[in-house]
Amino acid sequence: MVVQFHLGTEKSRGNCGGGCEISIDSQKIHRLIGRAQNYSMKVYLDGKLVEKDDAKVSVFDHGLLYGDGVFEGIRFYAGRVFRLDEHIRRLYDSARAVALTIPIEPDAMELAVLETIRANGLQDGYVRLVITRGVGDLGLNPRLCPTPSIIIIASKINLYPEEKYEKGLAVVTCATRRIPHGALSPMVKSLNYLNNILAKLEALNASAGEGLMLNEQGFVAECTGDNIFLVRDGALTTPPISSGALAGVTRAVVMEIAAELGIPFSEPYITRYDVFTADECFLTGTAAEVIPVVTLDGRPIGEGVPGPVTQRIRESFHKLTESTGTRIY
């Protein structure tokens, strides 16, 4: 085949053993390369789209000084934002729980998210939506922060390598316990993530993909950034919110998928014993999506490979992300 490459006025011929011709417009290629080189990320900051390097907050913002604020992580696929309404509702619930008044209405926030994605020309990616308490003084008093700040970043995220989705994660149990509801409700996605970060450091030090967090009573709460699910005898279980788990959006989607697939589902209190004796295990999260777990503390879960129920749920989840969501364009 003879292949002809036409790059502008230049031509080259290559022998590939049988009869095709490829023509490439070099000027178009150069234009596309130029656009990529000139691309500059736009960030939504308090009602305006600004260049990435100009997206700055004050050193007196209590989001920086004290972790005083809330956030959401949101995925979008093939030009659609997945479960946007649910994420925005949870954002406003988190803000209300910490007495933080977001300066725009939920509908306007959804439009701001879509506007930010459009400004960056993205079809697939991840949105980080942050509400800080705003600028105050060096004291704790939140009433001295009159104007919360809104930050929306549209970019990409790859939480785990692709091979981990095929072969599964190794997880270890963390000594760091999940914050109890009586201290700070795990339902609040606050900017103070030290509890999760300290547990994540334990997992990293053990060369594990994730860390399992227990509550003060010794029951399984969640992982450092994901909800956990178990499969035993074809039935699905996950810890209840009261154990210290976040009410994950992807967690709720998996519950819906289980119902549609006819998989029995419940939310009992779970211990490490239940994880060790499960047939399958997987984690869910907006960034993580659905990812299998194959070991806990060095012990294989089930056969030590991703199981069939996990695979069915993963497939159904991806079909949903490809066909549903709020249109961006």
C-alpha distances in angstroms, 143 versus 63, 65, 75?
14, 15, 33
Which of helix, strand or coil describes residue 228? Answer: strand
Residue 112 near residue 44 (C-beta atoms within 8 A): yes
Burial class (CB within 10 angstroms; exposed 0-12, middle 13-18, buried 19+) of 33: exposed
Per annotation, catalytic residue among 28, 56, 156, 189: 189
pLDDT of residue 290: 98
What are the angstrom distances between the C-alpha of 99 and each of 95, 129, 142, 188? 6, 18, 9, 11
Show the tokens assigned to 241: 């919110």
Per-residue pLDDT of the chain (329 residues; tens, 9 = 90+): 433 434 343 333 444 444 444 444 544 444 444 444 456 899 999 999 999 999 999 999 999 999 999 999 999 999 999 999 999 999 999 999 999 999 999 999 999 999 999 999 999 999 999 999 999 999 999 999 999 999 999 999 998 999 999 999 999 999 999 999 999 999 999 999 999 999 999 999 999 999 999 999 999 999 999 999 999 999 999 999 999 999 999 999 999 999 999 999 999 999 999 999 999 999 999 999 999 999 999 999 999 999 999 999 999 999 999 999 999 99
Is residue 48 part of the annotated active site? The answer reads no
Q: Where in the chain are the domains? A: 2-32, 42-155, 162-323
**pLDDT for the residue 1:** 42
Evaluate whether the domain defined by 42-155 bears CATH number 2.130.10.10.
Answer: no
Residue 45's contacts (CB-CB under 8 Å, 6 or more residues apart) are 55, 56, 57, 149, 150, 151
Report the alpha-carbon distance of residue 234 to residue 76 in Å, rounded. Answer: 31
Q: What is the pTM of this model?
A: 0.87
Q: Does domain 162-323 have CATH number 3.20.20.210?
A: no
